Amino acid sequence: MDSLHGNSIGDAGAHAIAEALKVNTTLTNLDLADNQIGDAGALAIADALKVNTTLIGLGLTGNFFTDVGVTAVTQTGNTTCRFRDPCRLEAGLERQRVPSAAELAQIAARAAANAQPLNLATEVDQLRFWFAAKDQTIAAKEQELAGKNEEIAAKEQKLAAKDQELKSALDRIALLERNQPTVGSTLSFEGPIPQVPLATLVTATNNFAADSLLGEGAFGRVHGASLPGPRVAIKKLSAASPAEFKSELDSLSKFRHPNIITILSYAEEGDTRCLVYEFMPNGAVRDRLNRTNDTPSLTWSQRHRIAADVARGMHYVQTAFPDHALFHLDLKTDNVLLDAYFNAKVSDFGLVRAAQHLDEKSYIRTDNVQGSAPYMCPEFFEEGRMTIKTDVYAFGMILLELVTAEKPGTKLKSKARKAAKSQKPLEMLDSTLKPAQAELQSVCKVVTLALELSSSSSLTVLVLGSGGREHALAHTLARSARVAHVYVAPGNGGTASGNTRISNLAVPDNDFPRLIAAAREHNVNFVVVGPEQPLVDGAVEAFRAAGIRAFGPSARAARLEASKAYSKAFMKRHNIPTAAFETFTDVAAAEAYIRSVKHDVVIKASGLAAGKGVVLPTTKDEAIASVRQMMVDNIFGAAGAEVVIEERMTGPEASVFALTDGYSFTLLPAIQDHKRIFDNDEGPNTGGMGAFSPLPFLTPALLDTISRKIIKPTIDGMRREGSPYVGLLYAGVMLTPEGPKTLEYNCRFGDPETQAVLSLIDPSHGVDLIDLFEACVDGHLDSVQLSIKAGSAVTIVVASKGYPGAYEKGLPISLPAPEAMPADVHIFHAGTQQSAGKLVTSGGRVLAVTAVAPTLHEALARAYTVVDQVKFEGKQHRTDIAKKFAVPHTADAKAAVSYADAGVDIAAGDELVERIKSKCKTTRRPGCDAELGGFGGLFDLKPLGLTDPIMVSSTDGVGTKLRVAQTINLHDTVGIDLVAMCVNDLIVQGAEPLFFLDYFATGKLDVDIAELVVEGIAEGCRQAGCGLIGGETAEMPSMYAPGHYDLAGFTVGAVNRDALLPAADLGAGDVLIAIASSGLHSNGFSLVRHLVSLAGADYAAPCPFDYSLSMATDPRSCYSYGRRLAALGRPATLGEVLLAPTRMYIKCLLPSIRRRAIKALANITGGGFVENVPRVYSDKLQAVADAHKWPLPPVFKWLQQIGNVDLEELARTFNCGVGMVLIVDPAKVDSVLADLELQGEKAWVVGHLQERPAGGAPATIANINAWKSA
């Protein structure tokens, strides 16, 4: 501030300074404090302020102004200048003074020096006038003071009233303290909780203002307030939560414990209900683990104490009352609060339910399952069964969070199990934790306890079936530490003996009422359906209707196996490669077709025929005879009433097993079985005489093709047709000269393939078979990772004499002693039973011997060694299973290995580059040639003509929006998203995008898909006006699931230094302009996918909401996706609408930016309006928007409705219809809006900047509830 402080300047000097200020254009601050300027000088300065626009600070304290002078300088209409005293705290017009005798002498001397005669009478009159004015000022001040005294008296009266209102609440606290029990005691407190007027709480929270908000949960928001006495927390429950209000009020009024939150009072008026609790200054444990607001990491000592506190509090809840137990049902780290000393207290009892005390096996059932899914034990989440372990499971998840600081869920449990099994629990430790050596044992114990508690109650599994497949399933499941017992119905001789954890139930596998009754009797909580017939008959639906989870496809989905006619038509509808075919129900038509074709044929019974309904005739006569046997002689019963006749394919066969949850899938090792009864593939077909895995001829490239062209289209097609496939999908595949083609589908594990495949699963890395089955049923298969043993597995079937025709039963069987068995060899029973204490034959395929070894040759040797030791009359088996692939291993037998053998196709990468070169050239701009192939991309800054350039860079990705694109096979839009997510972050700093580079990563490069993605990137660059000058394509086998890819982008822009945004002069009164988004853009898709899954919506179904208004079709706009959807000629699907590309704001903003009409820009991405707008201004300002000012697009309304998403959460997660916010001087609003309108953009004035109130949020959206009624 320029200083003329204390220079004895009088009115004449003030006149001179005022004349200078009238023409000044550079001076911004002036200090005239402690001079001798009177009202005459003040009037001169006031005239100057009426025309001056540059002065922003003026100090006038300590002069001789009366009210006349003060009024003159403060009522000039100048909004720029502020009166301030840089040396003092007071405002710049206070502390005016009366001139002393010496100062009067100075004034007189100056007057004499100016040759003006001293007129004493005039001076005396002026002083009299000054004193009279001062007397008037004093009188006015006294009157003002009297009014303030009256105000203070009124406020004291109100405060006394508040004290009276809260007296009962304070008495309640004192009474509770007097009744404080010792830890672990069961003393309850039955005193009534006082009710206080709602107005008291409204006043204390400033009408529940945003700056008092502490947090929010499912049933309401919590505000902090200072009432007489201690600080409190006030929960205002939503109007839709009266039951939760009553439940919490009733529960917390009945007990008092140091580790349970204390309720102090409540208010209830109409639909408004509030609960008042003790205040917990250190907040929720979840926030501390997240280190919200950069709080220090919790120490291990603190975490250990928190765990103990929660345990004590919950033990009290479950044991405090002799006649009943309480279930919290919402125990989680968000509901565990910390006091000033980090003592933990359990809160939020809104879902609590009471029940009679239960024992270990008892439970109560509810149809109203509520709570937080990651903390729910499966029995409660899936079946609504509450047990004494329901809250214990949630406590286990809390322990895992305390150890890892990670969010709860299946992935966390899987990680913990893996660490525990590898005996490396410290690998999962929160990286911020540095436990002392003495604490490490405590950490390990807590991890072990957490896993024990967060595991669902020990699973009791029922396997349906009686064959070797079912014995292998039961054997593998029983090895899991999570499985308490396995029942097999009806089972066989192997499942009846030899393992104390496996038992038979004498119930047929198709008698669902008896099976369900037996399951309930034995507390079965998981069912695995082995054979195809129960699946086709609806076994899965029957058990799920009874509240028991079941692994396997529904009856509708099982049609893939039940009807070959249906499955072949399905393959045709979804372009899944298969042989040419026709279906027939008329014998004569079938015979005529056979005679008419020139190719060899295969005859298949359309229905279920126990794996024997396929005939491979060598002549037309044999083919016709087979048709007559099926359709006339009914050798397969109703299964042969319809036949499929298809072209006979040639090539090796493979059985491909895929576990699926209906969306994602995991492949088990591919396997080949041997169908013919005799060596050299001679004789009739059987159910299978042997199998081996993995297949040396099935390369990673072939397996990838099968995944993309057969498995994934099948799973996606079933879901789109309304029959989502959950369970094990078995695709029989032939590797023809034209590529892999589908022979048939089975809807269950194969036999004998299962025995070999399951032997290769490696549970030592934390995931076993029951984990995989549960993940399929629960819909999160993508969260578990299958591990496979190295080496080979082989299964040899030992059959009865006469099989597959008639055979004798009841023959005694002799097996080798267990101690004589080679390592990694197991005998699985199929056609056996116990009779009079002896093991005897009861079927055609009697036993299956399975061996695992480092090589196929060794596995075969081990298996045949045991086969030779199996004895019963007339046994038969093949001796050539896998023999042609079993080459003895020698040190010299080294095959040449290529990069392609590792799964990387360099030729495909080269082809992609050639395809996309022309697309990149279309993005050329001054400074770059967009030519691909060099080691780096070049850009010349000279053509830009910038005088003082600043380079600005940005990088980003597309996120899980890619999963939607991959699900619906739409790949040419996500590249636009990639560019937009990067360049929109440049324009907000005033920079024009110059060039762009991309990174495309995938497990197996599909050139067609990659080309579509790059097309989108090029289109995005054209819309943004930047050059696509390079990129990287990375093919990484085993890093990505089949069909998955990921994207990253990098862009650079430039701006002159003096044009950088945000501008320095942002201030209160500046206007907020919002530009419409095109929809979701590329943020929040994890929540979107979760909500779509919860709602059971299908991405391929017509969009359930009106999307037309969200996507501009204005021909002036560079955004064309709306026109693309309009041109479809049909309603767009949900997936197509959700994939609307992120809007590009470059071209519509550059005109206003170049005119310096915009002060700041905020790109609305993850975090929404309230978290992105404050990034551009200081913490002294606050952005206030009004939700009435712009419409909430239908996509956000739909998401809010299907997920009952809180509107504040919606605004924090999504852009809610606003993609970019502009901050503009009020005088330039109209011109900016005109610029946007010329570009075809929708824009609204939505709010303004203001001074941020103390404790206020950086940004807020007023009237947000208007979106509910919109």
Q: Decide if 749 contacts 730 (C-beta within 8 A).
A: yes
The answer, yes or no, to whether residue 386 has pLDDT greater than 70, is yes
What's residue 879's pLDDT? 93
CATH 3.90.600.10 domain range(s) in the chain: 792-888
CATH 3.30.1330.10 domain range(s) in the chain: 900-1060
Q: How far apart are CA 530 and CA 1174, in angstroms?
A: 59
Q: Decide if 63 contacts 38 (C-beta within 8 A).
A: yes
CATH 3.30.470.20 domain range(s) in the chain: 558-579+653-789
Residue with tokens 């038992």: 503
CATH number of 461-551: 3.40.50.20
Q: Which residues, 6 or more positions from 1097, have their beta carbon under 8 angstroms from its beta carbon?
A: 1104, 1134, 1202
At residue 813 the predicted structure's pLDDT band, cuts being 50, 70 and 90, is: very high
At residue 1117 the predicted structure's pLDDT band, cuts being 50, 70 and 90, is: low
Tokens in use for 1141?
């590309």
What's residue 412's pLDDT? 75
Per-residue pLDDT tens over the stretch 670-728: 999 999 999 988 888 888 999 999 998 888 888 999 999 999 999 999 998 989 999 99
At residue 87 the predicted structure's pLDDT band, cuts being 50, 70 and 90, is: very low
The answer, yes or no, to whether residue 160 has pLDDT greater than 70, is no
CATH number of 2-118: 3.80.10.10
Q: Decide if 457 contacts 389 (C-beta within 8 A).
A: yes
What's residue 1057's pLDDT? 92
Mean pLDDT of 778-804: 89
Q: Which of 519-533, 772-786, 901-915, 972-986 has the lowest mean pLDDT?
A: 901-915
Residue 446 three-state SS: helix
Residue 6 phi/psi, 5-degree rounding, is 65, 35
Q: Where is pLDDT greater, at 411 or 1126?
A: 1126
- What is the C-alpha radius of gyration for the chain, rounded to an integer number of angstroms? 40
Q: Which of 787-801, 804-818, 896-910, 1142-1156 has the lowest mean pLDDT?
A: 896-910
How many CA atoms are closer than 13 Å to the CA of 1025, on its beta-carbon side?
Answer: 18
What's residue 178's pLDDT? 41
Mean pLDDT of 167-194: 47
The answer, yes or no, to whether residue 1174 has pLDDT greater than 90, is yes
CATH 1.10.510.10 domain range(s) in the chain: 281-457
Closest to 846 in 3D by CA, of 1159, 493, 443, 534: 493
What's residue 135's pLDDT? 58
Tokens in use for 838?
């002896």
Mean pLDDT of 482-500: 89
Q: Does domain 1066-1107+1141-1270 have CATH number 3.90.650.10?
A: yes
Mean pLDDT of 288-298: 88
CA 1133 from centre of chain? 22
CATH 3.90.650.10 domain range(s) in the chain: 1066-1107+1141-1270
Tokens in use for 214?
């502490």
Mean pLDDT of 1100-1122: 70
What's residue 212's pLDDT? 87
Q: Where is pLDDT greater, at 1177 or 57?
A: 1177
What's residue 533's pLDDT? 92
Q: Any binding-site annotation on 236?
A: yes
Mean pLDDT of 626-646: 86
Q: How far apart are CA 1205 and CA 1264, in angstroms?
A: 13
Residue 207 phi/psi, 5-degree rounding, is 60, 45
At residue 28 the predicted structure's pLDDT band, cuts being 50, 70 and 90, is: confident
DSSP conformational letter for 136:
H
Per-residue pLDDT tens over the stretch 1191-1248: 999 999 999 998 888 899 899 999 999 999 999 999 999 999 999 988 888 999 999 9
What's residue 88's pLDDT? 43
Per-residue pLDDT tens over the stretch 927-948: 775 455 556 778 888 777 788 8
Question: What integer best gives the mean pLDDT of the chain?
Answer: 84
How many Cβ atoms from other residues are within 10 Å of residue 592's Cβ?
Answer: 12
Tokens in use for 1115?
């021909």
At residue 177 the predicted structure's pLDDT band, cuts being 50, 70 and 90, is: very low
CATH 3.40.50.20 domain range(s) in the chain: 461-551
CATH number of 900-1060: 3.30.1330.10
Identify the H or E element spanning 771: helix 769-778
Q: Where is pLDDT greater, at 962 or 449?
A: 962
The count of residues in the chain is 1270
Mean pLDDT of 118-122: 45
CATH 3.30.1490.20 domain range(s) in the chain: 583-648
Q: Decide if 340 contacts 281 (C-beta within 8 A).
A: yes
CATH number of 164-279: 3.30.200.20
CATH topology of domain 792-888: Glycinamide Ribonucleotide Synthetase; Chain A, domain 4 (3.90.600)
What's residue 89's pLDDT? 36
**CA distances, 893 to each of 220, 856, 1066 (Å):** 71, 15, 76
CATH 3.30.200.20 domain range(s) in the chain: 164-279
CATH number of 558-579+653-789: 3.30.470.20
Per-residue pLDDT tens over the stretch 348-370: 877 777 776 666 556 677 767 77
**CATH classification of 281-457, choosing from 1.25.40.390, 3.30.360.10, 1.10.510.10, 3.40.47.10?**
1.10.510.10
At residue 186 the predicted structure's pLDDT band, cuts being 50, 70 and 90, is: very low
User: pTM of the full predicted structure?
Assistant: 0.48
Q: Does domain 583-648 have CATH number 2.30.110.10?
A: no
Closest to 662 in 3D by CA, of 525, 557, 528, 544: 557
Mean pLDDT of 634-663: 88
Closest to 539 in 3D by CA, of 501, 505, 489: 489
